[in-house]
A and B are shown apart, each in its own frame.
Chain A
């Protein structure tokens, strides 16, 4: 059987990549790579990655890249886009960078309808820092800072990021939640999120449900059932907001 092909926009000399075995980042970045290939934007895409596990993607693509930190990837991409609007700017971050420490940037970039694409990996915890609670940690989920399971009475319920972004963005924004367990759908979502920016309609936001077997302390089977069964019961997968001009709605 032939090995699956790498997206053309991947940088081959940095593969195999640096993520842990079983991590979902590689799959999400594959979907993004295929979307870049499909749209033919390798020459004008700018990839911004954040701190945390996403920083390991700083040399992942044959695409101009800047690695920053603390959810500040959103303003860095905003600054580039405002200065040079013909570039296609992608901010790639985790749930901590997007929903906690960098939340004000996400909220305000969304509210201003900045013409950038934000891709946020939701693996329900802080992974690189050692498995602490994130805004997306599920009720009852054990992390290093919720050792007896997250109690929503004490720390609130998990944040529904795309639903929040959909509520605060003006017309023209594209918002969706995909999962690394559905690669075809995720790739389609990535394409539409980039297309929305290219066509100048507004802010595009994709949350990606992803895996962290290292900090979840799960085996392959448990990892996959957490991703496929537990997470989507709270985080609904699919397109949440599509610009009216796009027409065909719920892909």
Chain B
């Protein structure tokens, strides 16, 4: 079946399902009318490909298993330039290799979508879980980190934000990441899947960068993309335009979640699945009458700086909780620069975090 041909939606109506996160991403990509996936196996994201290769041919979608992540990233860029909704997925050392094509995507403003299921690091680390790919995914390439990074916490969010990621990428033309982790990829959880079009969500149509109608130089100018400039000033001019545009649209893109921050003496800040443990801990402490709040950036890049600073202006302390050694902490500290709020850390690189330990730590800070 030719690629990119619409053969109906894979989902009609709303369906309550019980799926692994990797399976959710494959379904969501189909629901978002993605055309083609280019991928390379690495744990813990493999099942995104496994499900895609089972589902995709039924809906006229394409797939290529490449020789490595460099190739997966660059073929994805090729698919995007050809005017298809192309995406890829990776983790850990694969995410390291993926930074080279993503830097080119930033340079050429290509709307590529990447799902990252974080695993332990540095290097091969562990194969299942961590939150240690925040630095890499937000600012990992050579360049300025002109990307959008959604950090998901639940399977419902994996579904919702995968669909949203395609729209964000094609609307703003910055590479867009769904940053999850191996726990999310591998565990099963209930969620509702749906056809976004039936819900009234407009899905942006892809547009071709290359191979447009007409003969270049005769009917139209040739489309010529490069990532090399002859002069430093020439590059700066292009980059300053991109940066200005990125900063202009950042307020439209940023998202966060918070709870009880209006009166909190301590605010617990976290992202991804760790934020679930933190939210549960904060709800429990508030039930006990303690003035504890919760703040979670959903976009790690751009960071919801205004919301964060507003919270910080009302509280005495922020407890940063993450399964990494200060990768979120560094983003938050940067966002809080100039404010006098105290930052306390609860860092467990590569290890999961329970509501009980967060509650215990937060309790110490308020009592």
Q: Do A and B bind each other?
A: yes
Known A-B contacts A42-B217, A69-B104; the reply to A80 vs B79 at CB < 8 A is yes
On whether the beta carbons of A83 and B79 are closer than 8 Å, the reply is: yes
Segment 70-119 of A: residues with Cβ below 8 Å from B: 70, 72, 75-85, 87, 104-105, 107-108
Given the complex, which residues of B lie within 8 Å of A64, measured CB to CB? 210-212, 216, 222-224
Question: How many Å from the CB of B266 to the closest CB on chain A?
Answer: 48
Given the complex, which residues of A lie within 8 Å of B304, measured CB to CB? none
Q: How far is A78 from B70 in the complex, measured between Cα atoms in Å?
A: 13
Known A-B contacts A55-B226, A64-B216, A83-B86; the reply to A108 vs B71 at CB < 8 A is yes
Given the complex, which residues of B lie within 8 Å of A69, measured CB to CB? 104, 227-228
Question: How many Å from the CB of A40 to the closest CB on chain B?
Answer: 10
Q: How far is A81 from B74 in the complex, measured between Cα atoms in Å?
A: 12
Binds A, one of B61-69, B235-243, B309-317, B321-329: B61-69
Query: How many residues of A are in contact with the other chain, CB < 8 A?
Result: 37
On whether the beta carbons of B84 and A51 are closer than 8 Å, the reply is: no
Question: How many Å from the CB of B246 to the closest CB on chain A?
Answer: 22
B320 at the A/B interface (Cβ < 8 Å)? no
On whether the beta carbons of B217 and A83 are closer than 8 Å, the reply is: no
Interface size class of B (residues with CB under 8 A): 35 or more
Given the complex, which residues of A lie within 8 Å of B214, measured CB to CB? 43
Q: Is chain A's interface secondary structure helix, strand, loop, or mixed overall? A: mixed
On whether the beta carbons of B226 and A58 are closer than 8 Å, the reply is: yes
Given the complex, which residues of A lie within 8 Å of B77, measured CB to CB? 68, 76, 79
Q: How many residue pairs at the A-B interface have CB separations less than 8 Å?
A: 147
B215 at the A/B interface (Cβ < 8 Å)? yes
Question: How many Å from the CB of B159 to the closest CB on chain A?
Answer: 25
Q: How far is A251 from B79 in the complex, measured between Cα atoms in Å?
A: 35
A207 at the A/B interface (Cβ < 8 Å)? no
On whether the beta carbons of A75 and B211 are closer than 8 Å, the reply is: no
Name B35's contact: one of A67, A78, A83 (CB within 8 Å): A83
A11 at the A/B interface (Cβ < 8 Å)? yes
B260 at the A/B interface (Cβ < 8 Å)? no
Name A65's contact: one of B35, B86, B224 (CB within 8 Å): B224
User: Contact residues of A with B, CB < 8 Å?
Assistant: 9, 11, 42-44, 46, 51, 55, 58-59, 61-70, 72, 75-85, 87, 104-105, 107-108
